[in-house]
């Protein structure tokens, strides 16, 4: 259905594929393989976290209490909502609802931006109290390993924020293509793949929130 | 049709831009080949510089720091710029879609992107070369690497970027092998080179990101601090070694597995015999890939790792010998009663077989805990990994290069000079590195630019061998380049291979095949082909 409408652009299968199904399946498999490397990319940080939390439980308890769990919880809710709007965007693309796809993607971007704004204020309040990565750390702390927690915290949340930024870029890209009418029931691969990526980014945060904010 | 009007992938479009913007896997493979050859020359230049310094027990012409920089750059260039991309990115890119009967890899644009990521990484590496070089060794161990005043950051950034090129190639190959096979090509009708690239891609995707984040952490540690590698904050420098080797041991198999795949192709074609134990060779590639993730601790036997961990890692290390042994026995058995044709590619096959066994067995020595205490960080280790990396991977790479060269460029090289060069390389290699086994057992530590007088005869002997080895490579460069201009025109199937790349034109058409081939038998069915 749908490709007959004048507001949609018919998708041409790339020359080296036999048909649209092979093209879609390949893209999806490739994206899953890429997600596997993303998981391994973050894994080393989780391993480091596990080791040092095991070695210095009191320091981690103290450091974690310096974070604002309210802001963390708020951001968790923001990202979970954005995952939902992303699902709706993919669903709308699959059913050739151009306007809806566009709007859900727009809401997803706004939520992502909101996440980054909250994160910005969180970082600023930490810097304000002298909580920096270890080389510049000058806050008062009972346990001397507290800076290690913040070393891990800044690297992992920083890399996560970078992934959010990349996600925003990707969503803008598919929004423009949605507006042009490139996505419909017969072709929605990029929307689906960006959706996959976005869920991964959310999932990382869902692990990070309890590990970083709720040590107590 | 006259021969002049047949278009192929090399002449279907002309001009430099048609190369720089190409999406054709064959052209991308050729571009990789060019960069890899340049990197090999650069890495070889540093090797020669090292060997010259080691002619005498005292300083000859390099300061201690320059010597450290030379061996670091030799290692980093050879590992990250040459050997990791050598077989998968250069030969694999060219051959994989052809062997599958496909028109291209699954993601041609991603393929070109990973080439440019490689070029970007290479640019960072070259930048660090002129910006103080690096003197940490290619392993960048903390705490020294966070304190060295040389350009550690740009070199680790280079390795980080090059890693992403490798990951993207792996992603591309996985999707290609799963989804782009010609009709009738079941998993067990795939050539074994494809199986090897598949196992390699798994490691590229699962191990490379770990070294990526590790190098990133190292960069952060030396700029604003993370603390996890810093003992002053309660961190642990040994953790860096764990992270580093979690990638870098499997990386050894990113290099060796494709080489083993090339071996399986060479042995069947030049013995005109079906491979012995097809499934076991295919599965052993996967077994090696899996076990390779569990052995990294054998690099830390003397780093204060617990003795229980040492025992387990030692045992697991020995296990790698089983699938490797299966492959070696199967190749040898394939040769049995075959019609052996000692062409240049097969000479490199034999070199691999001989040298890789020595490399593998000496690996067992090093995997044994008590022996490792004596041999750790000596020239024995240097000789061991050169036997696996150069004696193994580089020999297979050269074998594959000579095997597919006519297909790539449509020209035959001089067989006579090919054999002469192979002899020089084989003799020179053993001359240089077997000597180093002896040096190591006598106690010569690695990475020193000065040494005790008693080691001089062996060091000087080893250095003499580098000239024989180098002569072999110079001869090779001359006749290969000569063949491009003056070589005889190559037929479509000069060696009588049965895999699909030999069905395509020489050089192949832009779209590989005029019509999609259909597969009805296994890849090496020489009995059916009349042998
Ligand atoms: Cu190892």
Q: Judge: A136–B224 Cβ closer than 8 Å, yes or no.
A: yes
**3-class SS at B411?**
strand
**3-class SS at B61?**
coil
**3-class SS at A25?**
helix
Domain CATH number, residue A159 = 1.20.120.80
């993303």: which residue's tokens? Answer: A38
Contacts of A176 (CB under 8 A, 6+ apart): none
CA distances from B212 to A64, B85, B110, B117, B167 (A): 27, 16, 19, 14, 10
The number of beta carbons lying within 10 Å of the beta carbon of residue B345 is 25
**Mean pLDDT of the residues in chain B:** 93
pLDDT in tens, B320-371: 999 999 999 999 999 999 999 999 999 999 999 999 999 999 999 999 999 9
Q: What is the pLDDT of residue A87?
A: 96
- Contact status, residue A81 vs residue A132, Cβ threshold 8 Å: no
pLDDT above 50: residue B501: yes
DSSP B487: P
Assign residue B433 a region (left: φ > 0; alpha: ψ between -120 and 50; beta: otherwise): alpha
Q: Is B3 exposed, middle or buried (0-12, 13-18, 19+ CB in 10 A)?
A: exposed
Q: Which CATH number fits domain B26-502: 1.20.210.10, 3.30.1200.10, 3.40.190.10, 1.25.40.10?
A: 1.20.210.10
Q: Which one of B206, B216, B235, B254 would you mutate to disrupt binding with A, by most A Cβ within 10 Å of its Cβ?
A: B235
For residue A4, what pLDDT band results from cuts at 50, 70 and 90?
very low
For residue A215, what pLDDT band results from cuts at 50, 70 and 90?
confident
pLDDT above 60: residue B156: yes
Distance (Å, rounded) from C-alpha B526 to C-alpha B67? 52
Nearest to A29 among B170, B178, B206 (CB): B178
Residue A14 lies in a domain: no
Q: How many CB pairs under 8 A join A and B?
A: 127
Q: What is the pLDDT of residue A139?
A: 83
If one compares B457 and A216, the residue with the highest pLDDT of the two is B457
Contacts of A21 (CB under 8 A, 6+ apart): none
Q: What is the pLDDT of residue B5?
A: 54
Could you tell me if B507 lies within 8 Å of chain A, comparing CB atoms?
Answer: no
Could you tell me if B207 lies within 8 Å of chain A, comparing CB atoms?
Answer: yes
Contacts of B307 (CB under 8 A, 6+ apart): none
Q: Which of B393, B402, B403 has its CA nearest to residue B84?
A: B393
**In DSSP terms, which residues pair with B445 in a beta bridge?**
B378
Distance (Å, rounded) from C-alpha B254 to C-alpha B392? 13
pLDDT in tens, B230-261: 888 888 999 999 999 988 899 889 999 999 99
pLDDT in tens, B92-103: 999 999 999 999
Q: Which residues of A touch B212 (CB under 8 A)?
A: 41
Q: What is the pLDDT of residue B2?
A: 43
Q: What is the pLDDT of residue B296?
A: 92
Per-domain residue ranges of chain B: 26-502
- Contact status, residue B472 vs residue B428, Cβ threshold 8 Å: yes
pLDDT above 60: residue A146: yes
Strand blocks (E) in B418-522: 488-489
**Mean pLDDT of the residues in chain A:** 92
Nearest to B226 among A43, A56, A155 (CB): A155
Q: Judge: B230–A25 Cβ closer than 8 Å, yes or no.
A: no
Q: Which of B166, B174, B104 has its CA nearest to residue A25?
A: B174
Residue A117 lies in a domain: yes
Contacts of B127 (CB under 8 A, 6+ apart): B151, B154, B158
Q: Which residues of B touch A51 (CB under 8 A)?
A: 236, 239
């000087």: which residue's tokens? Answer: B460
Percent of chain B with pLDDT over 70: 99
- Contact status, residue B134 vs residue B155, Cβ threshold 8 Å: yes
Residue A104 lies in a domain: yes
From first CA to last CA, the distance across chain A in angstroms is 54
Distance (Å, rounded) from C-alpha A47 to C-alpha A197? 22
pLDDT in tens, B103-132: 999 999 999 999 999 999 999 999 988 888
Q: Which of B516, B512, B513, B517 has its CA nearest to residue B26?
A: B512
Nearest to A25 among B108, B179, B243 (CB): B179
How big is the CA angle at A154 (ends A151 and A159), to the nearest 5 degrees? 125
For residue B4, what pLDDT band results from cuts at 50, 70 and 90?
low
Distance (Å, rounded) from C-alpha B439 to C-alpha B444? 6
Angle at which helices A20-55 and A189-213 pack, to 10 degrees?
10
pLDDT in tens, A169-207: 999 999 999 999 999 999 999 999 999 999 999 999 999
Query: Which residue range(s) make up the domain with A164?
Result: 20-213
**Number of folded domains that form chain A:** 1
Distance (Å, rounded) from C-alpha A40 to C-alpha A16? 31
CA distances from B28 to A147, B109, B116, B256, B257 (A): 47, 11, 10, 22, 21
pLDDT in tens, B404-446: 999 999 999 999 999 999 999 999 999 999 999 999 999 999 9
pLDDT in tens, B10-35: 888 888 899 999 999 999 999 999 99
């Amino acid at each position: 259905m749908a490709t007959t409408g004048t507001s949609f652009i018919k998708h041409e299968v790339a020359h080296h594929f036999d048909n649209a199904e092979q093209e879609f399946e390949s893209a999806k498999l490739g994206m899953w393989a890429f997600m596997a490397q993303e998981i391994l990319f973050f894994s080393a940080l989780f391993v480091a976290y596990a080791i040092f939390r095991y070695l210095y439980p009191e320091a981690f308890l103290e450091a974690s209490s310096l974070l604002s769990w309210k802001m963390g919880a708020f951001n968790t809710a923001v990202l979970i909502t954005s995952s939902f709007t992303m699902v709706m965007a993919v669903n709308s693309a699959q059913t050739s609802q151009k306007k809806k796809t566009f709007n859900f993607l727009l809401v997803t971007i706004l939520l992502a931006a909101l996440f980054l704004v909250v994160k910005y204020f969180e970082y600023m309040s930490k810097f304000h109290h002298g909580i920096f990565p270890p080389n510049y750390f000058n806050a008062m702390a009972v346990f001397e390993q507290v800076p290690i927690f913040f070393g891990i915290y800044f690297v992992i949340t920083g890399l996560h924020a970078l992934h959010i930024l990349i996600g925003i870029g990707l969503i803008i890209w598919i929004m423009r293509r949605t507006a042009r009418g490139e996505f419909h029931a017969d072709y929605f691969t990029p929307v689906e793949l960006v959706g996959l990526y976005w869920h991964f980014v959310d999932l990382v945060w869902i692990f990070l929130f309890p590990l970083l904010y709720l040590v107590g | 049709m006259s021969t002049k009007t047949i278009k192929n992938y090399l002449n279907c479009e002309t001009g430099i831009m048609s190369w720089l913007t190409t999406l054709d896997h064959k052209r991308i493979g050729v571009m990789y080949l060019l960069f890899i050859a340049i990197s090999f020359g650069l890495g070889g230049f540093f090797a020669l510089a090292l060997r010259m310094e080691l002619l005498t027990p005292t300083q000859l012409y390099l300061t201690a720091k320059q010597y450290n920089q030379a061996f670091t750059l030799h290692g980093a260039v050879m590992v990250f710029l040459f050997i990791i991309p050598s077989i998968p990115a250069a030969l694999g890119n060219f051959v994989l879609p052809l062997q599958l009967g496909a028109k291209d890899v699954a993601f041609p644009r991603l393929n070109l992107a990973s080439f440019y990521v490689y070029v970007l990484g290479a640019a960072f590496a070259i930048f660090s070369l002129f910006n103080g070089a690096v003197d940490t060794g290619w392993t960048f161990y903390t705490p020294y690497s966070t304190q060295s005043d040389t350009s550690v950051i740009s070199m680790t950034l280079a390795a980080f970027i090059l890693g992403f090129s490798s990951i993207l190639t792996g992603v591309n190959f996985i999707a290609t092998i799963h989804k782009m096979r010609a009709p009738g090509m079941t998993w067990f009708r795939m050539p074994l080179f494809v199986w090897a690239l598949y196992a390699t891609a798994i490691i590229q995707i699962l191990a490379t990101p770990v070294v990526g984040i590790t190098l990133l952490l190292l960069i952060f540690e030396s700029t604003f601090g993370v603390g996890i590698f810093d003992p002053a904050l309660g961190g642990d420098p040994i953790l860096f070694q764990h992270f580093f080797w979690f990638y870098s041991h499997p990386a050894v198999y990113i290099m060796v597995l494709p080489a083993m795949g090339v071996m399986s192709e060479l042995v069947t074609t030049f013995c005109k015999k079906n491979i012995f134990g097809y499934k076991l060779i295919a599965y052993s590639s996967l077994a090696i890939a899996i076990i390779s993730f569990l052995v990294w601790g054998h690099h830390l036997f003397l780093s204060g790792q617990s003795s229980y961990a040492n025992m387990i890692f030692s045992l697991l290390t020995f296990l790698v010998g089983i699938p490797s042994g299966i492959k070696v026995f199967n190749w040898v058995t394939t040769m049995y009663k075959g019609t052996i044709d000692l062409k240049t590619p097969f000479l490199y096959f034999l070199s691999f077989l001989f040298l890789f066994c020595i490399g593998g067995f000496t690996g067992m020595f090093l995997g044994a805990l008590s022996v490792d205490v004596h041999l750790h960080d000596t020239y024995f280790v240097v000789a061991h990994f050169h036997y696996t990396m150069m004696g193994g991977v580089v020999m297979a790479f050269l074998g594959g290069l000579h095997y597919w060269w006519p297909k790539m460029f449509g020209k035959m090289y001089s067989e006579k000079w090919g054999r002469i060069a192979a002899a020089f390389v084989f003799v020179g290699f053993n001359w240089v590195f077997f000597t180093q086994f002896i040096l190591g057992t006598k106690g010569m530590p690695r990475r020193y630019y000065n040494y005790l007088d008693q080691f001089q005869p062996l060091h000087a002997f080893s250095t003499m061998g580098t000239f024989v080895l180098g002569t072999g490579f110079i001869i090779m460069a001359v006749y290969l380049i000569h063949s491009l201009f003056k070589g005889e025109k190559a037929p479509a199937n000069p060696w009588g291979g049965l895999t699909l790349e030999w069905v395509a034109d020489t050089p192949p058409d832009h779209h590989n095949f005029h019509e999609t081939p259909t597969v009805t038998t296994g890849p090496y069915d020489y009995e059916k082909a009349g042998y």
